Amino acid sequence: MGVSAHKKVLIVEDEQDILQLVKHYLEKEGFRPITAISGLDALKKVKEE
């Protein structure tokens, strides 16, 4: 795998279809996407990681 292997990426998007599409493509590129549907949800995810 390349430089992106196992790097985490936080995706914040309120449209579920777009969120899943972006997540899918990032996974194909070797990233570990973490998804959030709002700013508050994103802050919770950041604290968890």
The secondary element (H helix, E strand) that includes residue 32 is strand 32-36
Are 32 and 9 in contact by the 8 Å Cβ rule? The answer is yes
According to DSSP, residue 24 is labeled H
Instruction: Report the 10 Å Cβ neighbour count for 33.
Output: 18
pLDDT computed for residue 6 by the predictor: 80
Residue 20 lies in a domain: yes
Cα–Cα distance for residue pair 12/21, rounded to 1 Å: 12
- Alpha-carbon separation of residue 15 from 5, 8, 22, 36, 45 (angstroms): 26, 20, 11, 10, 18
Residue 36 lies in a domain: yes
Query: Which pLDDT tens digits describe the chain residue by residue (49 residues)?
Result: 566 668 999 999 999 999 999 999 999 999 999 999 999 999 999 999 8
Residue 2 lies in a domain: no
Domain tally for the chain? 1
Residue 43 lies in a domain: yes
